[in-house]
């Protein structure tokens, strides 16, 4: 019983720690007036306002290697730390987001789906390589962004994208984000077998015993002011 309580206590500690680091998730960065700012869209001026608020409030970014190490060591995250991530390989992640991150001295994590590689309006191999060279993290988001029941070929969805991105960047690709934030036990097992070190979902508490493969992210609403973003981040560890 004592051993069980120790193990359970460690699991609870990991789960609590995972919630204390706000991991922000962005998708489409648009030109003002072209889309409504919402859960999947944010115009570039609003995006910069949010980044400026984070910077003015003393926030700094950490990357997945540091996050995972601190979780494994059960150590607290630095004060005013956050992670900024981007999904779905949009070209604006390089042309708009990356320069703004640089302006405010932030680094990001870019979850790339490789079916769009080098296609119009999506990241090119050269842009992905440049992001990695600039100190950002390039990570996997599957080949073609399937729903949970759509993983028909595990190697194509999980292994080949990692290998492609490693060839492009010249760096290990060991982090993964579930499309739609959706996962199940089978997907987690295959993600682990494919060689990933950790995986990110959306909006839910990490699963007991599988914390590193169910790390939580917060979808940022493009309609949030900087102040509201900060408020949502303060609630992040309590929901």
Which pLDDT does position 205 carry in this prediction?
85
Distance CA 235, CA 219 (A): 13
Q: Find the mean pLDDT for residues 190-195.
A: 98
Task: State the CATH number of the domain containing residue 123.
Answer: 3.20.20.370
100-118 pLDDT per residue, tens:
999 999 999 999 999 999 9
What tokens appear for 135 in the block?
Answer: 């100190």
pTM over 0.85: yes
Which pLDDT does position 236 carry in this prediction?
73
140-179 pLDDT per residue, tens:
999 999 999 999 999 999 999 999 999 999 999 999 999 9
114-136 pLDDT per residue, tens:
999 999 999 999 999 999 999 99
Which pLDDT does position 204 carry in this prediction?
84
Q: Is the pLDDT of residue 88 over 80?
A: yes
Containing H/E element for 60? strand 60-61
Q: Find the mean pLDDT for residues 85-110.
A: 98
> Do the Cβ atoms of 111 and 177 come closer than 8 Å?
yes
Q: Find the mean pLDDT for residues 84-93.
A: 98
Report how many domains make up the chain: 1
69-81 pLDDT per residue, tens:
999 999 999 999 9
Q: Spell out the long-range contacts of 57-64 with Cβ–Cβ below 8 A and sequence spacing 24 or more.
A: 57/230, 60/105, 60/106, 61/106, 61/107, 61/108, 62/21, 63/107, 63/109, 63/137, 64/109, 64/137, 64/139, 64/175, 64/197, 64/198
2-14: burial string, b at 16+ Cβ within 10 Å, e else: eeeeeeeeebeeb
Q: Is the pLDDT of residue 193 over 80?
A: yes
**Out of 5-9, 36-40, 52-56, least confident range:** 5-9
Average pLDDT along the chain:
91
Give the domain extent around 105. Answer: 2-235
């Amino acid at each position: 019983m004592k051993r069980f309580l120790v193990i359970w206590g460690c699991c609870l500690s990991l789960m609590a720690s995972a919630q204390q680091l706000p991991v922000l998730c962005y998708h489409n960065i648009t030109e003002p007036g072209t889309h409504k700012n919402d859960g999947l869209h944010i115009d570039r001026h609003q995006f910069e306002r949010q980044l400026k608020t984070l910077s003015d409030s003393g926030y700094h970014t950490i990357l997945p290697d540091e996050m995972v190490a601190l979780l494994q060591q059960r150590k607290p995250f630095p004060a005013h730390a956050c992670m900024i991530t981007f999904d779905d390989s949009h070209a604006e992640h390089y042309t708009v987001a990356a320069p703004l991150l640089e302006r405010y001295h932030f680094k990001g994590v870019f979850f790339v789906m490789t079916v769009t590689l080098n296609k119009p309006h999506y990241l090119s191999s050269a842009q992905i390589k440049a992001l990695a060279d600039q100190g950002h993290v390039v990570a996997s988001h599957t080949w073609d962004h399937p729903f949970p029941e759509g993983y028909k070929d595990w190697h194509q969805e999980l292994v080949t994208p990692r290998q492609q991105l490693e060839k492009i960047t010249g760096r290990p690709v060991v982090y993964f984000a579930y499309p739609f934030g959706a996962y199940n036990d089978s997907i987690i097992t295959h993600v682990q077998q494919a060689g990933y070190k950790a995986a990110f979902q959306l909006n839910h508490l990490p699963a007991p015993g599988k914390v590193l493969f169910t790390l939580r992210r917060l979808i940022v609403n493009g309609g949030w002011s900087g102040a509201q973003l900060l408020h949502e981040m303060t609630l992040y560890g309590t929901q």
